[in-house]
Amino acid sequence: MNRSVNSKAGRDDDDAASCLSAAYDAGDWAWEFLRRNDDYVADWRRSVPQHLPCIMLKDGTKLLRLRRRFPQAEKWGLYAFADPRLCAHKTTAFWHVSALKRVVRLSARDPSEGEASVRRLADFNAERHAVIGVDGVPLVVMKRNGVRVPLEIRGLSVLTAAFTPVYELHDLDDLTAQAELLKCLQRFTDADFRAVRKPSFAADERLHQALIALDESLKGKTYRQIAIAIFGEKKVAEEWHSHSQFLRDRTRRLVAKGTDLMKGGYRHLLA
């Protein structure tokens, strides 16, 4: 292990215990597993620069503008390296559009006078992170209540400007996924934050447990110690030696799941 980053002194190890209540979305979970990967940490250490400054636009959008590509970061699915010492609360991982499974794509037209469908990014009641790569095409990620919608916008030279969106559909197989994303995007225009909710926390709970299992495994803990960290000492004392061995098997699966997500499976989490 690269202990200078992956040790408790060098990394926010306590965040694994707080992730479930943090309204993490898929990209946040993916980052949590990636930043524990030693090969990623090594690439980040060799990168120049290790940190790229973002600017805050007047509408509250956080923007990263890139003057060149970062192929080593792209290898990991990112536009640029993010600091692995920082959890998803404290840094933004700008996932590359090519690494995302589902993206809303639109063309921005100059609005006509009196047109009803005019939008600004500020109309979307969400946290907004934008990256503009060397191709000049902005990718804006809307985030709220653990839900994220990536939005690729062509034809918008000024991110704070008004535009008329023309949404693109590339084929009929894309229809269901796009409809789901567009519904989320529409809910982001609602002033009531409760309008955007995750359908279930079950997946988050399993990712949370897999993250704890991974952290404890990286510290060299036994399966029983890992189980105690996840399920509590009382439950482990009662069930660890049961005939079914359910708790033992579940703990092993969680360690395997966490390890797989760290080693590349995190890409499957990206929406």
Q: What's the mean pLDDT in 127-151? A: 95
Q: What is the mean pLDDT of residues 123-146?
A: 95
Least confident of 147-156, 171-180, 186-195: 186-195
pTM exceeding 0.75: yes
Residues of the chain above pLDDT 90, percent: 71
**Residue 268 confidence (pLDDT) above 80:** yes
> Does pLDDT of 1 surpass 90?
no
Whether residue 81 is predicted with pLDDT greater than 60 in this model: the reply is: yes
Domain boundaries, the chain: 3-195, 202-269
Read off the pLDDT of each residue in 105-116 and give the average, rounded to a whole number.
89
Q: Which two tokens stand for residue 35?
A: 């930043």
HEC assignment per residue over the chain? CCHHHHCCCCCCCCHHHHHHHCCCCHHHHHHHHHCCCHHHHHHHHHCCCCCCCCEECCCCCEEEECCCCCHHHHCCCECCCCCCCCCCCCCCCCECHHHCCCCEEEEEECCCCCCCCCECHHHCCCEEEEEECCCCCEEEEEEECCEEEEEEEECCCCCCCCEEEEECCCCHHHHHHHHHHHHHHHHCCCCCHHHCCCCCCHHHHHHHHHHHHHHHHHCCCCHHHHHHHHHCHHHHHHHCCCCCCHHHHHHHHHHHHHHHHHCCHHHHHCC
Indicate if the pLDDT at residue 115 is higher than 80: yes
Place of tokens 């973002």: 54
Average pLDDT over residues 61-89: 96
Q: What pLDDT sits at residue 146?
A: 87
Q: What is the pLDDT of residues 41-51, one digit of tens each?
A: 999 999 999 88
How high is the mean pLDDT of the chain? 89
Question: How many alpha carbons fall within 13 Å on the CB side of residue 138?
Answer: 24
